[in-house]
Amino acid sequence: MVRLHCDAGKDEGLALYFPDQQATRDGTTGPTHEVIRSSRELADSLHSEMMRSLAGKLKDGGVRGDSQTFVGSRQGVLTASIFSLVPIVTIEMVVLSNKADAEFIKSDAGQQEMAQAIADGNQRVSPIARIRPGRAATGGFDFAGT
């Protein structure tokens, strides 16, 4: 699962977040250690490909754990990550409180470049991440070659 978001704050540029630990919300503890590991791999792959497309256009904020977000710092990880049964990544496309980032994402060209970068990243990971048929509800997935 890839979640798209625009951030706010003092930072700037593109950053990808993945669940880096477990947390409990509404009686559910998650994600599993396998989802955490696989989410990190997904985030690294997406980030690498996206930054090839966006180099020089946005600051590279890297790959970060959910626990570094506002919500994650309070509950351990992002809420969607707790409940996820499959690898999950949040792409913070820009920081809207940064003028240059806001101008980039508001422009038609910037939106096209972001969409292409996400598509490029997806092309790279689509042969890597595979859901096992009939097991999605139980979180069954694997990575090609492992």
Query: Whole-prediction pTM value?
Result: 0.84
Judged against a pLDDT cut of 90, whether residue 137 lies above it is answered with no
Higher pLDDT, 42 or 123: 42
Give the model's pLDDT for residue 39: 95
Q: What pLDDT is stored for residue 89 in this prediction?
A: 96
Sign of the C-alpha dihedral, residues 78, 84, 88, 93?
negative
Helix axes 108-125, 33-54, angle to 10 degrees: 130
Q: Residue 124: what pLDDT? A: 72
What pLDDT sits at residue 126?
A: 54
Give yes or no for residue 122 having a pLDDT over 50: yes
Task: Return the pLDDT at 115.
Answer: 95
3-state secondary structure of 58: coil
Mean residue pLDDT of the chain comes to 87
Say which residue the tokens 């998650």 belong to. 30
pLDDT digits (tens, 9 = 90+) for 32-90: 999 999 999 999 999 999 999 999 999 999 999 999 999 999 999 999 999 999 999 99
Q: Give one DSSP letter per residue of 107-133, joined into a string.
A: SHHHHHHHHHHHHHHHHHHTTTEEEPT
Residue 142, pLDDT above cutoff 90: no
Residue with tokens 């997806």: 122
Given a cut of 60, whether residue 109 has pLDDT beyond it is: yes
The Cα 28–Cα 30 span in angstroms is 6
